[in-house]
Chain A
Amino acid sequence: MAPPARSIISTSTMSTRIEAGQMTYKNPPTAPRQSATFDEYTLSEIRRAAATGIYDIRGAGAKRKVPHFDDLLFLGASISRYPLEGYREACGTNVVLGARHAKKPIELKIPITIAGMSFGSLSGPAKEALGRGATLAGTSTTTGDGGMTEEERGHSEILVYQYLPSRYGMNPHDLRRADAIEVVVGQGAKPGGGGMLLGQKISDRVAEMRTLPPGIDQRSACRHPDWTGPDDLEIKIQELREITDWEKPIYVKVGGARPYYDTALAVKSGADVVVLDGMQGGTAATQEVFIENVGLPTLACIRPAVQALQDLGMHRKVQLVISGGVRNGADVAKALALGADAVSIGTAALVAIGDNDPRWEKEYQALGTTAGAYDDWHEGRDPAGISTQDPELMKRVDPVAAGRRLANYLKVMTLEAQTIARACGKNHVHNLEPEDLCALSIEASAMAGVPLAGTDWIPGKTGL
C-alpha cells in the first residue's frame, strides 16, 4: 500500500515531486518582499549616512503622511441653515491683526499671509516676487533670518519683520520701517532647533548682512541670546514696543509642540498675534531627522491653541495665525472654522512663483531628484532660481511675472474659501465654525475636535 500523501511546505521555487501521485509541478515563485520597516528610502539613508558621515540636511517640511485638513469635510447648508448665493451675497475675507496693543494694527484684505523666509535662503528676485504678489493680493509678507532687504521692503506694502535668535541684520532702522514685528521662538519644521546655512549660499551680500565671513557655514541659534522663558519674553516685548513707540503689532511665532501652553504664555507675554506653525511647515535647511520626528501636525495644533485663547477670554482679541501645509482655499476655510483668524503659507507660495516646476525636470534629474521632490534648498543649486544665491540661476525668476502668479494663487485660495463659507451660510469667512465640519478618521476627529463623519462622536470628548 502506498504511503499517505504528505503536504510539503517549502519556500523553494524548485520543482517538487508529490509522492502520492508521482506528479511534479513548479512552486509559484515567492515575490521579493521589501520590508515595511527597512523600506527603500530607509536603506538609502543608511547607506548615505555610512558613506558621508553626516546627517541629511534638507529644506521643506515633514513629508510623512499625517492627519491633515484633507481628513476634514464641510457639511454645507441643509434644511436647518441656508446658504448664501455665490457671487451675489457678500462674504467678507478681511482680517485685522494686532489691535490688542498696537497703535497701528495690520489690516489685510485676505486671511492668508506669506510666511517668514529669509533673504539668503531665498534669492533677491524670489523675495521681491513674494512682496509683489502679497501686495497685489492685499496681504503681508515676512522677512526671515538674515534681515530686511530693499527688494522686499520696497515691494511689500505690508511687511512683517522677524526678530530671530540669530539677530542677523537686526537693527532699529528696519524695526521702525516694518509694519509689524514677529518674535520667532520656533518654527514647525524644527521646534527647539536652530539652523545652518551652508557656506555655498553665503555670497558677499549675504555675509555682509549677517556680519560674518563669506563662504563659511552659518549657524542660527536655537534660542534667543538675551531672554529665556515667558517672564523674560514679556519684558522683551515691552522693549520692542518702547523702541517703536507702541505702534507695531507684535506677533510671537512658535512651532507646534505644546500649543495650549505656548499660546497661553505668548498671550501672557503680551503678544498681539500668535503664529503657530505645524510640522508640515517648511524650513530652508534642517536635519531630516528633525523635520520628520519633532513637532505636531498642523491639524493637531489648532484646537488646543484656540482653547487657550478662549480660556483666557482672548479669542479674536489676540489673533491666531496657523501655518504648515496650507495649500488651497479648503485648507484656509478649515483652519478658520477651527478658530484661526488667518493662515500663512510658505512652501505653497514658493511653488506658485516657480519652485519645483516640471519645466526644469532635466536639471532636477541631474541633481539626482525630480520636480516636486527637490528639497536640497540649502545647497544653492535650485534650477528654479528661488532657493539660491547663484546670479545666473536667480535670473530665472522674473519678479513681476512670479509676483502676478502668487497674487493669482492667493486670490484663488480666497475665492475657494469664500465659496465654502457661503455654502455654509456664512457672510464672513471668520463665521465658519467647528460645527460646520466633520472628520473622516478617528485621528483627525480627535485632533480637530469635530465629530467623526456620520456620528456625534469626538474621541476624548464625547461618549463612545
Chain B
Amino acid sequence: MPTFDLASVPLRDLNQALHAVGAGANETEFEVINPRGAHAVAVGIDAPVRVDVHGSVGYYCAGMNAEATVTVHGSVGPGVAENMMSGTVVVKGDASQYAGATGHGGLLVIEGNASSRCGISMKGIDIVVKGNIGHMSAFMAQAGNLVVLGDAGDALGDSLYEAKLFVRGEVKSLGADCVKKKMRPKHLALLADLLAKAGVTDAKPEEFTRYGSARALYHFNIDNVDAY
C-alpha cells in the first residue's frame, strides 16, 4: 500500500498519484500520514480507490470526490467532501463548517459533530452526522438527505428546496420555509437504509423527525417579504 507522508512529500504528489489511478490499476489503497492540517487532501479523485488519512486535515478534504472511499482518522476543517459526486467519505472525528456543501451524490458520514452550514446547498448527497450540527445547516439544500442523530442549531433548512432532513434530537429553530413533516413508511425505509450504510446500530428510524420545504417560497410573492 503506497504511503504518503505529508511531512516530507508535497501535497501535489499525493493528489496526482490519486488522479493517475486508472481502470485495472494494481494499487487501489493509499495511506496518508502526518497530514498536519493540510488543505485539499485527496481531492478530485475519480476512481474506486480507498484512502485512509491518519490525522486531522484542513479545508476541503475529499473535495469533489467521485467513487473513492476516503476515511479521515481525525477531524476535518471546513468543506469536507464539498461537491462530492459519489463514493463515501467518513470522518472519525468532528467536522468544521460547510461539511458536504453542494454535494451531488455519495455518502458523507461524520462520527462526531458538524459545525454550521452542514449540507449547505446540497444537491443529492447523503450526509449522516452522529453528533450535533450547527446553525444554518441545509441552507438552500436542493436534494439529498441529511440525517442527524444529535441536535440541530438555529435556522435549520432555511430556504430549503427538495432535500429531506431527519433529526433525532432537538432543533433549536427552523429556517424560513422549513417545516416539520410526517414520517411516512417510505421515509422510514429510506432512513433505515441510510443508517445501515453509515454503520449506525443504536438508533431507530422511528426516533427521528422529518423536516422539509413548505414550498411557499418557490414563487416570489411580495406578501412573503417578511420571510426574506
Question: Bound state CA distance, A238 and B161, in angstroms?
Answer: 30
Question: Bound state CA distance, A166 and B44, in angstroms?
Answer: 19
Kindly identify, within residues 175 to 207 of chain A, every residue whose CB is under 8 Å from any CB belonging to chain B.
Answer: 175, 196, 198-199
Select from chain B the residue with minimum beta-carbon distance to A54: B222
Indicate whether A239 sits within 8 Å of B60 (C-beta atoms), given known contacts A219-B159, A225-B120.
yes
Stretch at the interface among B76-84, B184-192, B197-205: B76-84
Of the residues B12, B123, B142, B161, contact of A242 by C-beta under 8 Å: B12
Question: Bound state CA distance, A217 and B177, in angstroms?
Answer: 14
Establish whether residues B83 and A170, one from each chain, have CB atoms under 8 Å apart when the complex forms: yes
Question: Bound state CA distance, A398 and B39, in angstroms?
Answer: 47
B30-67 contact mask (Cβ, 8 Å, vs A): 1 or 0: 00000000011001101000000000001110011010
Report if B172 contacts A (CB, 8 A).
Answer: no
Establish whether residues A232 and B44, one from each chain, have CB atoms under 8 Å apart when the complex forms: no
Question: Bound state CA distance, A219 and B63, in angstroms?
Answer: 24
B106-117 contact mask (Cβ, 8 Å, vs A): 1 or 0: 000000000001
List B contacts of A246 (CB < 8 A): 12
Most B C-beta atoms less than 10 A away, residue of A172, A173, A227: A172
Establish whether residues B58 and A235, one from each chain, have CB atoms under 8 Å apart when the complex forms: yes
Of the residues B15, B64, B140, contact of A221 by C-beta under 8 Å: B140
List A contacts of B159 (CB < 8 A): 219
Question: Bound state CA distance, A221 and B121, in angstroms?
Answer: 9
Select from chain B the residue with minimum beta-carbon distance to A216: B218
A148-173 contact mask (Cβ, 8 Å, vs B): 1 or 0: 00000000000000000011001111
Question: Bound state CA distance, A172 and B121, in angstroms?
Answer: 17
Q: What is the distance, in angstroms, from B32's C-beta to the closest C-beta of chain A?
A: 13
Select from chain A the residue with minimum beta-carbon distance to B119: A225
Establish whether residues A171 and B104, one from each chain, have CB atoms under 8 Å apart when the complex forms: yes
Question: Bound state CA distance, A52 and B218, in angstroms?
Answer: 18
Select from chain A the residue with minimum beta-carbon distance to B139: A225
Question: Bound state CA distance, A239 and B140, in angstroms?
Answer: 23
Of the residues B64, B98, B142, contact of A172 by C-beta under 8 Å: B64
Establish whether residues A211 and B143, one from each chain, have CB atoms under 8 Å apart when the complex forms: yes
Indicate whether A243 sits within 8 Å of B63 (C-beta atoms), given known contacts A171-B104, A172-B85, A225-B117.
yes
Report if B72 contacts A (CB, 8 A).
Answer: no
Establish whether residues A53 and B222, one from each chain, have CB atoms under 8 Å apart when the complex forms: yes
Q: What is the distance, in angstroms, from B122's C-beta to the closest C-beta of chain A?
A: 9
Most A C-beta atoms less than 10 A away, residue of B12, B60, B143: B60
Majority SS at the chain A contact face: loop
List B contacts of A239 (CB < 8 A): 39-40, 43, 59-60, 63, 79
- Interface residue count for A (Cβ, 8 Å)? 34
Question: Bound state CA distance, A225 and B136, in angstroms?
Answer: 11
Q: What is the distance, in angstroms, from A332's C-beta to the closest C-beta of chain B?
A: 36
Select from chain B the residue with minimum beta-carbon distance to A166: B121
Q: What is the distance, in angstroms, from A334's C-beta to the closest C-beta of chain B?
A: 39
Report if B219 contacts A (CB, 8 A).
Answer: yes
Question: Bound state CA distance, A108 and B104, in angstroms?
Answer: 34
Indicate whether A235 sits within 8 Å of B40 (C-beta atoms), given known contacts A172-B46, A219-B159, A226-B82.
yes
Select from chain A the residue with minimum beta-carbon distance to B218: A216
List B contacts of A167 (CB < 8 A): 83, 102, 121, 123
Establish whether residues A225 and B220, one from each chain, have CB atoms under 8 Å apart when the complex forms: no
Indicate whether A226 sits within 8 Å of B161 (C-beta atoms), given known contacts A219-B140, A244-B44, A245-B16.
no
List A contacts of B102 (CB < 8 A): 167, 170, 225-226
Q: What is the distance, in angstroms, from B154's C-beta to the closest C-beta of chain A?
A: 17
Establish whether residues B79 and A226, one from each chain, have CB atoms under 8 Å apart when the complex forms: yes
List B contacts of A54 (CB < 8 A): 220, 222
Report if A213 contacts B (CB, 8 A).
Answer: yes
Question: Bound state CA distance, A244 and B79, in angstroms?
Answer: 18
Kindly identify, within residues 116 to 154 of chain A, every residue whose CB is under 8 Å from any CB belonging to chain B.
Answer: none
Report if B180 contacts A (CB, 8 A).
Answer: no
Report if A212 contacts B (CB, 8 A).
Answer: yes
List B contacts of A175 (CB < 8 A): 44, 64
Report if B19 contacts A (CB, 8 A).
Answer: yes
11 A-B contacts (beta carbon < 8 Å): A171-B64, A171-B83, A171-B85, A172-B46, A199-B219, A210-B142, A212-B142, A225-B117, A226-B97, A236-B59, A242-B44
